[in-house]
Amino acid sequence: MTAPLTPEQEAEHVAGLERLVHMDLLPDSRLSGQGPTVKRSVWRGNGWWQPIYCANCGKEGGLVPEENMTTVLWLCDICAETHGAIEGAVCVPDAVFYAKVELEQREKYGRLLTEQELVDVVAADASPLATLIKQGR
């Protein structure tokens, strides 16, 4: 268990979460549409795999496992050489999601909830926190 934060540390921590929540997120290199032309996941012996495409030009880039993937960003060699590194590429969407959940807890309850309290919030399904948690599933 960590030591409680001083009011100054708490304010600095919350300010950092606010900055994270408002960052631009990276694009996802997987398909998101539906229809007959959308290439679907394929079974490859040990699980389902999804095709990925260059986030810039759309060139097909292979397959990634479908399980446990919240986002994928891939650039083909030509786009990576032409355009260089993507600004802000160190920010992962999962970190933004967790920052939003933490901020909502601190705003409404003034603290982080226990695991059981979070389960109860989701089961009640009557708050912005429950909606946010369900969106992140």
Helices (H), the chain: 7-21, 77-83, 93-109, 115-124, 128-135
Question: Per-residue confidence of the chain (137 residues) as pLDDT tens digits?
Answer: 577 889 999 888 888 888 877 766 677 888 776 555 556 788 888 788 888 888 889 899 888 888 777 778 888 888 888 887 666 555 455 667 788 888 999 999 999 999 889 888 888 888 888 777 776 65
Same domain? 12 vs 67:
no
- Residue 1 makes CB contacts below 8 A (sequence gap 6+) with none
Long-range Cβ contacts of 35-44 (<8 Å, 24+ apart):
41/66
Are residues 67 and 118 part of one domain? no
Q: Is residue 72 part of a domain?
A: yes
Segments forming the whole domain that contains residue 35: 26-89
pLDDT at residue 72, rounded to an integer:
82
For residue 2, is it within any domain?
no
Same domain, 17 and 52: no
Do residues 116 and 124 make contact, with C-beta atoms less than 8 angstroms apart?
no
- In whole angstroms, how far apart are CA 2 and each of 11, 96, 106, 107? 17, 22, 17, 21
Structure tokens at 100: 């939003």
Q: pLDDT digit string (tens) for 30-61?
A: 877 655 555 678 888 878 888 888 888 989 98
Domain tally for the chain? 2
Quick one: 31 and 71 in the same domain?
yes
Residue 34's pLDDT is what?
59
Q: What is the pLDDT of residue 15?
A: 86
